[in-house]
Structure 1
């Protein structure tokens, strides 16, 4: 298949960079290049803000040689289709969530394990480090442009949850890795998209949900849930932006360098924005406008939850015994990296 990146030259003609063209090929070092970039959620979402910021920074880094046309909100393709779209040449850069398809992205699912990570900054830096260090097979045909995560998932319920007994029989929305977690705690997990949560809360199908906390404002859920339990479960969602590796290699070397120089920078930007603006402002708004309360847990209850979360991580290791990587090693390395990044973040804040 002849796959390509469209690049607009100074003369206004279209140059096709093909990884499969005979006799070599690719853009000249001075050609103007236009890249398309697709994402499934709205531009106002924090990954959408990140993609626009990346486009601006890349244009600046390349002195205007590279421009990026962004397509947020599923205008080109939806969640779960974007990586295939990149492979098929339908889009140059794609941002999708490997957490939505853990069978296809088993390595990436480690970041959703509940190991006590408390914010997106630590989780995102840890996730990118793991992807670059282990170079998992699930991304072998792609160049990773950046990677980041949400904060951990938190219980957000109509009635306060201050003990595991409060979860018995509760119908709670979850997804992915949170479903077995809810089941282990005695709740009745209900698999729903976030877009379906408000309606199901209203009609009483569910009593709450597990998610990162920006949804209180982004989905107007603070009007229907009054309580947040201050205990971080596994990371709620993860995101990886990619280019097809052959197409990336066809770019001029200085453009490749500019893109890679932004990789860690955008991980930091996205996670800081999520923690400080996206989540922080949502919590302030939910409290001031709707009286949402955050409940601390007694140390004994936290210890009990910690033990149950540790068992879930052990189950993940067992479930991935034949996944093509050493799951125990990867989980341990993730915990080690998370501790390092948490210490670094604490030092910056002190």
Structure 2
């Protein structure tokens, strides 16, 4: 064989070897601000987990602003992105089972709740197939949702008539019990909505005080131990994209990243965010945190019970043993919290 032919054959072999070990770069869509924990800690953390599990064979790249929040799932189904995160409450009527984790009254961290959420998904909610068309790779809930307002609130009764931005889902049912006047805008619009006076308050977890600069436009926090509600998130992947990955990479991701490991990581990130924001709020001289009195906590417990009955009935009607699923969430959260 001539030298030129040998060199050509060697070059082809090198190219083939390089191609076989080429990284799979997954496009991950997000609608949150660049510095939000969902981007910085959760989705970037997902990339790190995937790279570690596959020895660098699978990586990812975050893309912001590809579509508005309610269109994220369709974005992945249409092939415009490989992965995304969605907030279930932004798509009324599309999800029912996901409201289970949003109910008021759960005790425990976002980490415990997120782990319990994934376990109850496998045990009960998979039957509903609400994420059909995509691959579900992680579930999470933020920490307890509280009321942040631009005027002082010291009692439960003072929430009646408060114009409040709501994210949807169970928060809307709780708001109806409280007498809040609901305003629906995506989370990235919260600052301007409060700053313009279009809303007096917002229902969010504590960590969003930092993420959306609520310390500037909602200087008062009225909190219920355990929260008024929680919020449900899912991270989704194109099933077609997953199926196209090498089998070894698929197995590594399924065994070490997707499901409970990733859900736990997201919950931890929510908890850390809440802790940082609480410390910042307590340190700000013009910010105030008021914890509901025992009397108001008892009053809200009655409201929460009505909300739970309503939502569990909806889930039951969808074909799930709602009470058993609810008990499982509480049991798994208690198990995680005791560890």
TM-score (norm 2): 0.84
Residues 11 and 43 of structure 1: CA distance in aligned 2, closer, same or farther (over 3 Å): farther
The structure showing larger relative contact order (alpha-carbon pairs under 8 Å, at least 6 residues apart) is 2
How far apart, CA to CA, are the structure 1 residues paired with 2:14 and 2:200? Answer: 58
Aligned residue-pair number = 319
Q: Which one of 239, 245, 254 corresponds to residue 251 of structure 1?
A: 245
What's the CA shift for 1:321? 5.2
How far apart, CA to CA, are the structure 2 residues paired with 1:112 and 1:200? Answer: 24
Residues 150 and 85 of structure 1: CA distance in aligned 2, closer, same or farther (over 3 Å): same
Q: Which one of 313, 318, 325 corresponds to residue 318 of structure 1?
A: 313
- Correspondence for 2:89: 99
Matched, 1:149 2:145: no
How far apart, CA to CA, are the structure 1 residues paired with 2:132 and 2:195? Answer: 44
What's the CA shift for 1:344? 2.5
Task: Give ranges in structure 2 of 5+ residues lacking alignment.
Answer: 1-12
RMSD (Å) for aligned C-alpha atoms: 2.6
- Correspondence for 2:221: 228
Q: Which one of 93, 103, 106 corresponds to residue 116 of structure 1?
A: 106
Residues 43 and 335 of structure 1: CA distance in aligned 2, closer, same or farther (over 3 Å): farther
- Correspondence for 1:129: 119
Deviations 1:116-172 (A, max 9, x none): 345311221122122222313112333222221211210112344343222222222
Aligned residues of 2:112 and 2:264 also touching (Cα < 8 A): no
Matched, 1:57 2:57: no
For residues 6-45 of structure 1, what are the structure 2 equivalents within 5 Å? 11=15, 32-45=23-36
Task: Give ranges in structure 1 of 5+ residues lacking alignment.
Answer: 1-8, 16-27
My pick for the range that moved more, 184-193 or 142-151, is 184-193
Q: Of the two, which has the highest radius of gyration?
A: 2
Residues 40 and 253 of structure 1: CA distance in aligned 2, closer, same or farther (over 3 Å): same
- Correspondence for 2:212: 219
How far apart, CA to CA, are the structure 1 residues paired with 2:330 and 2:265? Answer: 18
Residues 339 and 304 of structure 1: CA distance in aligned 2, closer, same or farther (over 3 Å): farther
